């Protein structure tokens, strides 16, 4: 109706206002709950055009709109706003229309351009953790919303299976893995350890030994002990140390970090990792076999975790493949003048004209950096999917600068589609104890967290005791659906741009803005409809006087298609989550305020059942779009 009114005012603007108007002047919104009305039109822009009072303009527009639209029952002008009240028949017609559609709110498949959504994209040197969960649930939900909104969607991840961080785990496993009585080092098979966790253990182990070595190096430097051939290092160390004098605490800490980085670069352990990376890029057989073996352990671990999460991918990309394409592009760009080479043979791009800085794209030893492989990955994706209109990268906001640079580089290399690439930047997830750190082993493991929320769901569900008639397998499925539904919703409902604090206790609460609250409402509707089914009748709803609680539910149902499109356009499942919560609140208020099964008036009873059925259908779709199951019993 809003669109019809807006189109009418624009079409009749010349006769009403004496001039054509911009559609932005037509501001329509739901009427405030404390006022009578359903749709509110802001009058101030029109009063300015007509050089009249809002009251006079409102009365004029109210008469014109009432004559044009028989759906309008009455109108009132209140403080510069025209409030329109719709006939009961209008709301009944809307409910009938919603109920008659099997795919209400879903756009025609393929009616919009193809979009690729990247999410997860883990490193193969550690297991998935809480930070990954927000990424994965956010990206997976966005892909479903885009598909529901009419896009063809390609769900993908790029597996970060190469680089110095991978080599750290490899070096540590070779150096520190104990050997059993059979002469074997630790493996998932002989330890029963999940593969990604075993590899992650050695990533932490590397950092522990590295910190110990760096501590010794720094102590030696403080005592003036330097290697004979380290005069340049000695000069840099003394220069940085002297620079700390008269600096504030923040500046001193920054300089300390630079000194530590200098010590790390001189550690034997880091040199081993760098040498291993060079060997890997040269396809040294022994190094390559170790890399393949350890990555295989990780992939098996990831697959297990993804399956429990209920997420999937259409296409996988591996940085070990795409970095070569990226290196080729860098060399071509070097020839064309997009990049430049420094004295140490490292290759850079100068983005100072764009307000950024110089960015490294190839190290002096010829090895690739993240930017190199991201260039190659993007190009390969558009080659694989020629109809691709753009890519949505679901990556944390600490990489905002990286993606600004990536999109600029791709544009400068002549790829027009670079302008259609979007960084879905999201805030980090904190715990009450503070920020997680992978190298220090202080992350919240994804598998452990899923197990924890499911355990809490088991306890909560058993305490409520509504599981009669369910066999053990059905109970286990229900516990999973409630626990993971709560976890997903908790991470999705917050605006992606906002940093968030995670509390597993709150995620599975049955009351408030939680996943289980939404799931319970769906189960309640299923129970209601099951009880009503034997006595359902087909009737016409003419002459029914709607209560405000009933109108509020219908108003919320009407919004669903627009909310889906808005969530798709802004890549924000949070919009859908908050809409769903409002829908459920309005339904529960309606459910508590009226009689349904015991209602004596057949027309009213059937209308209320139709309303419950429509809410249940929309709720099930909304939960699906967030990656959440909608149980029929709880």
| DSSP element (H, E) containing 4 | helix 2-11
Q: Which residues of 472-511 are buried (b: 16+ CB within 10 A; e: fewer)?
A: eeeeeebbbbbbbbbbbbbbbbbebeeebebebeebbbbe
Average pLDDT over all residues of the chain:
93
Per-residue pLDDT, 236: 93
Q: Does CATH number 3.30.1360.70 belong to domain 2-86? A: yes
DSSP state of 35: S
pLDDT of the residue at 565: 97
Q: Report the C-alpha dihedral over residues 27, 30, 31, 34, rounded to 10 degrees.
A: -140
Counting Cα atoms < 13 Å in the Cβ hemisphere of 469 gives 4
Confidence of residue 557 (pLDDT cuts 50, 70, 90): very high
Confidence of residue 433 (pLDDT cuts 50, 70, 90): low
Note the pLDDT of residue 15: 93
CATH 3.30.1360.70 in the chain: give the residue spans: 2-86
Asked if 44 and 54 count as a contact pair (C-beta separation under 8 A), the reply is yes
> Which structure tokens are listed for 515?
């996943």
Q: Please give the average per-residue pLDDT across 500-515, as a whole number.
A: 86
CA distance linking residue 160 with residue 158, whole number of Å: 6
User: Do residues 302 and 157 touch, judged by C-beta distance below 8 A?
Assistant: no
Would you state the torsion angle of the CA atoms of residues 607, 608, 614, 615, taken in this order, to the nearest 10 degrees?
Answer: 160
Pairing of strands 340-341, 39-42: unpaired
**Gyration radius from the chain CA atoms:** 31
3 state SS for 82-145? EEEEECHHHHHHHHHHHHHCCCCCCCCCCCEEEEEEECCCCECCCCCEHHHHHHHHHHHHHHHH
CA distances in angstroms from 245 to 49, 217, 250, 274, 336, listed in the order given: 66, 22, 13, 33, 45
Q: Binning pLDDT at 50, 70 and 90, where does residue 134 land?
A: very high
Flag whether pLDDT at 467 surpasses 90: no
Whether the per-residue pLDDT at 440 is higher than 70: the answer is no
For residue range 268-293, list pLDDT tens digits in order. Answer: 999 999 999 999 989 999 999 999 99
Rounded Cα distance between 43 and 56, Å, is: 10
44-87 tens-digit pLDDT: 999 999 999 999 999 999 999 999 999 999 999 999 999 999 99
pLDDT of 546: 93
Coil, strand, or helix at residue 497? Answer: coil
DSSP element (H, E) containing 475: helix 472-492
pLDDT above 90 for 540:
no
State the SS3 of 533-601.
Answer: HHHCCCCCCCCCCCCHHHHHHHHHHHHHHHHHHHHHHHCCHHHHHHHHHHHHHHHHHHHHHCCCCCCCC
Which of 80, 79, 77 is CA-nearest to residue 62? Answer: 77
Q: Is 198 exposed, middle or buried (0-12, 13-18, 19+ CB in 10 A)?
A: buried
CA distance 285 to 279: 9
**Whether pLDDT at 439 is above 50:** no
3-class DSSP state of 155: strand
Question: Which segment of 162-166, 288-292, 446-450 scores lowest on mean pLDDT?
Answer: 162-166
Query: Which tokens go with 54?
Result: 């809002």
Q: Which pLDDT does position 194 carry in this prediction?
A: 96
Superfamily of domain 445-634: Isoleucyl-tRNA Synthetase; Domain 1 (1.10.730.10)
Residues of the chain with CATH 1.10.730.10: 445-634
């Amino acid at each position: 109706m809003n669109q019809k009114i807006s189109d009418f005012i624009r079409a009749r603007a010349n006769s009403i206002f004496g001039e054509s108007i911009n559609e932005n002047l037509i501001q329509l919104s739901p009427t405030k709950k404390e006022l009578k009305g359903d749709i509110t039109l802001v009058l101030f822009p029109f009063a300015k055009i007509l050089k009249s009072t809002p009251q006079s303009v409102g009365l004029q527009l109210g008469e014109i709109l009432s004559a044009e639209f028989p759906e309008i029952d009455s109108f009132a002008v209140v403080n510069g706003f025209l409030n329109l009240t719709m006939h009961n028949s209008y709301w009944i017609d809307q409910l009938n229309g919603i109920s008659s559609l099997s795919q209400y709110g879903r756009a025609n498949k393929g009616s919009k351009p193809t979009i690729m959504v990247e999410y997860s994209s883990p490193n193969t040197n550690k297991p998935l953790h809480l930070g990954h969960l927000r990424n994965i649930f956010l990206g997976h939900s966005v892909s479903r919303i885009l598909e529901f909104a009419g896009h063809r969607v390609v769900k993908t991840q790029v597996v970060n299976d190469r680089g110095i961080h991978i080599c750290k785990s490899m070096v540590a496993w070779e150096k520190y893995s104990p050997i059993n009585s059979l002469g074997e080092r630790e493996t998932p098979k002989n330890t029963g350890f999940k593969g990604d966790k075993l590899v992650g253990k050695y990533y932490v182990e590397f950092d522990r030994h590295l910190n110990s070595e760096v501590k010794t190096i720094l102590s030696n430097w403080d005592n003036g002990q330097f290697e004979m051939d380290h005069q340049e290092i000695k000069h840099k160390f003394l220069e940085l140390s002297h620079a700390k004098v008269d600096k504030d605490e923040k500046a001193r800490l920054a300089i300390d970090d630079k000194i530590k980085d200098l010590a790390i670069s001189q550690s034997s352990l880091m040199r081993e990792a760098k040498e291993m990376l060079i060997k890997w890029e040269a396809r040294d057989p022994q190094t390559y076999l170790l890399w393949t073996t350890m990555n295989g352990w990780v992939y098996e671990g990831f697959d297990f975790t993804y399956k429990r999460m209920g997420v999937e991918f259409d296409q996988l990309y591996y940085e070990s493949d795409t970095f070569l394409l990226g290196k080729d592009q860098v060399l071509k760009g070097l020839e064309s003048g997009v990049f430049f080479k420094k004295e140490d043979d490292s290759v850079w791009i100068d983005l100072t004209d764009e307000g950024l800085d110089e960015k490294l794209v190839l190290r002096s030893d010829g090895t690739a950096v993240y930017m190199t492989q991201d260039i190659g990955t993007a190009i390969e994706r558009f080659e694989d999917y020629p109809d691709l209109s753009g890519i949505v990268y679901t990556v944390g906001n600490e990489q905002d600068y990286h993606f600004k640079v990536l999109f600029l580089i791709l544009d400068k290399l002549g790829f027009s589609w670079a302008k259609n690439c979007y960084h879905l930047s999201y805030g980090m997830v904190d715990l009450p104890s503070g920020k997680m750190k992978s190298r220090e082993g202080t992350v919240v493991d994804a598998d452990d967290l899923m197990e924890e929320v499911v355990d809490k769901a088991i306890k909560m569900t058993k305490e409520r005791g509504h599981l009669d008639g369910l066999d053990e397998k059905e109970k286990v499925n229900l516990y999973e659906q409630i626990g993971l539904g709560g976890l997903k919703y908790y991470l999705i409902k917050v605006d992606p741009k906002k940093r968030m604090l995670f509390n597993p206790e709150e995620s599975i609460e049955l009351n408030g803005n939680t996943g289980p609250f939404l799931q319970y409402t769906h189960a309640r509707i299923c129970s209601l409809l099951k009880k009503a089914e034997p006595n359902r009748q087909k009737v016409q709803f003419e002459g029914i006087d709607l209560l405000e609680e009933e109108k509020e539910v219908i108003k919320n149902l009407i919004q669903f298609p627009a909310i889906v499109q808005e969530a798709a356009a802004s890549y924000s499942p949070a919009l859908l989550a908050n809409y769903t919560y409002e829908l459920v609140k309005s339904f529960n208020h309606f459910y508590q305020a009226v009689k349904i099964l015991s209602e004596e008036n057949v027309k009213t009873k059937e209308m209320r059942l139709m309303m419950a059925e429509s809410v249940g259908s929309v709720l099930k779709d909304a939960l699906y779009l967030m990656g959440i199951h909608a149980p029929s019993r709880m």
